[in-house]
Chain A
Amino acid sequence: MIHFEDVTRTFGNRTAVERLNLSVGKGELVALLGHNGAGKTTSIKMLVGLLQPSFGQVKVGPYVVSESMREASRLIGYVPDQPFLYDKLSAREFLEFVGELYGLTASEVRTAVQREVERFQLGEFMDRLTESYSHGMRQRTVFAAALIHEPEVLVVDEPMVGLDPQCIRLVKDFLRAYADNGKTVLMSTHTLGIAEEIADRVAVMNSSRLVFEGTVAQLRERVPGVLGTLESLYLALTDVSVFDGNSNGDFRSHSESPVLEP
């Protein structure tokens, strides 16, 4: 459902994403992992149409994002790392606005809003202005807005930052259930425990390149001598010395086959 096909994104002389090839199918939840500046958010921005690839293309379903932006957007629900809400609207008004922009009729919007209110427990603050919301309330409202049209693809950038444990549980359960219902979920996160717990596959980016794509079990096989959690595997994988046997940190000199195939 999501296809990054040889995607490269440069900013002047700096390469933020280099030859990214990644596919996420229906019913799959893939966690995108990587250090700060590894290229995760840039990849996600290309997927949702906020950036254009310098080379290659990103496809959502049958649509190339940069060519059919409107059509691709209709299939996507996006929860950004820094979500936006209209301060002077209530959550209900915001959800109605977004729902109608996705082409839902007034009665469909009402039903969808009610569904999301129950799913994310928004009831008590639904008709208050969003400027008075806490971070958790804002994040839940943004999730509801991203799901108002029941998108085929859900893209989530750092969903757990600043959430309380109850909220984290709610979001984790929801993301897993959404993928189990046949939808596609791509989640960027630093919380490796959560990725290990709910993701079908993990994709690890390091220095703008994808260095691993597969299940945690496959990762374990590929990083010999390191046992235990995804955290230790991830740290071992993103440590250049383990990956290519040199410790000078120069990744670019080994760019021929950057991806460890599962």
Chain B
Amino acid sequence: MLQVDKIPSYQPVLTQNPYQPHMARIVRIYKMVEDNYLFTLRFLDDRLAAGFRHQPGQFLMLSVPGAGEAPISISSSPSRPGVLELCVRRMGRVTNALYRMQTNDVVGIRGPYGNGFPIQDIIGHDLLFVAGGLGMAPLRSLVWYALDNRDKFNRVTLMFGSKSPADMLFREELVSLVDRTDMTCLLTVDRDPTGSWKNHVGLLPKLFDSAQIDPARTYAAVCGPPVVYRFVLQRLLDLGFPKDRILMSLERRMKCGVGKCGHCNVGYKYTCINGPIFTYWDAINLPEMI
């Protein structure tokens, strides 16, 4: 008979904790537009800073000490590692606390999470980006990924709409893309109080009149407020885009980022692990998505 004191001990080993935030320093706060700043972060740990890899379209969970955690899409391209750029709109508790921080303050990061854009599928195709307002934040990682790997894609077209020139996120870098000959960058504003805006004035869908798009060999990446989806999706369908080649990035309430907390449920999928990039076909089949 086995003695009780010889019973093997069942001591579980703590597995790697996906909830562990890693500390990162705010290296730059760029005030692009009021309440829409671009925060540049670098992990305190050099190996993490150099080793962190993400896919365009993925997001991370940002911790602001004392305030909590929020999902933020990564606006920088993995083709430019070392730092992470987050375009953050001042909105809730966590982002308000972030806006009270200064350069060199420390925040927590874990991730990257989510599926990201299906790079393997879209390589070799034309790319069409359509964004409105803050919708540029998740698309920008793929824009720069495509431009940094220009030989891997065919035609690249970017359409971006803002309320006014002063409201345009990433305005300087996007205006500088207008002159590039290896892509078409179409920028529009709803109105131009300055009178000095040299690009388009009018609503976002009007930019389709200025672009040459071949739906048979193009992937479209769309992101923006609901009004963008309402008009742009129909336009893409009218052009003949297959529904599974229209890619969209979604936002939802999230507490974990790893498919456990239940908050980002859409229909029966989780935005955090099944998304945040969904196709329009997914959207039709998952109620409440858009």
A and B interact: no
- Contact surface of A with B, Cβ cutoff 8 Å: none
